[in-house]
Amino acid sequence: MEYKEVVGRRRSIRYFQSWRPVEREKIQIMLEAARLASCAVNASFLKAIVVFRDDLDRDTLDALKTPVSALNIELAPVHIYTFADMSAYRGAQPRLKQLIDVGALTATHGWSYKFVDEFVWPNLLKPLSEGSNQAPVAAAAGCDAGIAICQAMLAAVDEGLGVCLSGFVYEPLKKILNAPEQWLPLWVLLVGYPAESWEAGGQRPRPPLEESFFEGRYGKPFKADPKVTEQLKAAKMIQRPAPLPWRKQEIQALARMFGLPE
C-alpha cells in the first residue's frame, strides 16, 4: 500500500482471528520499523518483549486483563509489551560522535567532537544520564517510544495485520518478562489477523483540523484547504467515517461467532 493509505486504514482492531498465528517475519518487520524510528541522541528508548499468547498459562493470561481490554488480550495471538528505557541516555556521548562520523551531525550546524565533549555532554546529557532530573528523561523517553510504536503499528497494517494498543497489568508479567527495573511499562501492542473487517465500521471520529492545530499562535486555527482534503480522500488517508451502515450487523455476527453477549 501507499503510505497515505496505510495511515488511513489503521484501526484499533478488537476482534482478532484468535486461531490464526502471525508469521514471525511479519513481527520482525514491525520491530525493524520501530528500530529505525527517529530518536533523541540516537538512543533506543523503546524496548519491547514479544510474547505469543499461547505460551502464557491461563492464570497469567487472565491476570493481565483489565475491564476494557480483557477480550482484546484473549483474542490477540501476539502481545508486544512495550517499555521506555529510562537509562537510554547513558552512552549518548559516543553515539553523538558516531552521528558526526557518518555525516548526520555536521559542522555546518555547529557539531564537532569538541562541541559534544565540552558543551552538550556536561550541560545537557550528563545530568540526564545521571537521572538528576527525571521529568525530561521520562518525557523524551515516552515521546520517542511512542514514535517507534507508531511505526511498528503502521508496518503491521501494511502487512495485512490488525493492531490495538492497550493498557495492561504489569505485575503478573514481572517474573515472566524479567524486564530491567529502569524500563517503564507503557502499553501492550496486540497483533493478529482481524476477525472483523479491516474497516472496523469506518474511520474513527476525530476533531476537525482547526480544533487541534494552530498557526503562529494559539487561537489562530490552521485552516484546512478543501483541495488538500479531497486529495487525501483520493489517496485513501481520509476514508468513510464511522459508523458504516452495516457495522451493527457485523458486531452481532462477531458476537455470535465468539459466543459473546449481544
- pLDDT tens profile 11-47: 999 999 999 999 999 999 999 999 999 998 898 999 9
Lowest mean pLDDT among 89-103, 121-135, 223-237: 121-135
Reported as a pLDDT band with limits 50, 70 and 90, residue 109 is very high
Sheet bearing 46-52, strands edge to edge: 46-52, 78-85, 183-192, 162-166
Lowest mean pLDDT among 7-16, 166-175, 216-225: 166-175
Which residues, in sequence order, are CB contacts of 10 under 8 Å at separation 6+? 153, 154, 157, 163
CA torsion 121-127-129-135 (nearest 10°) is: -130
C-alpha cell, 52: 505469543
Largest separation between any pair of C-alpha atoms in the chain: 67
Q: Domains, the chain, ranges and CATH? A: 3-195 (3.40.109.10)
Return mean pLDDT, the chain.
94
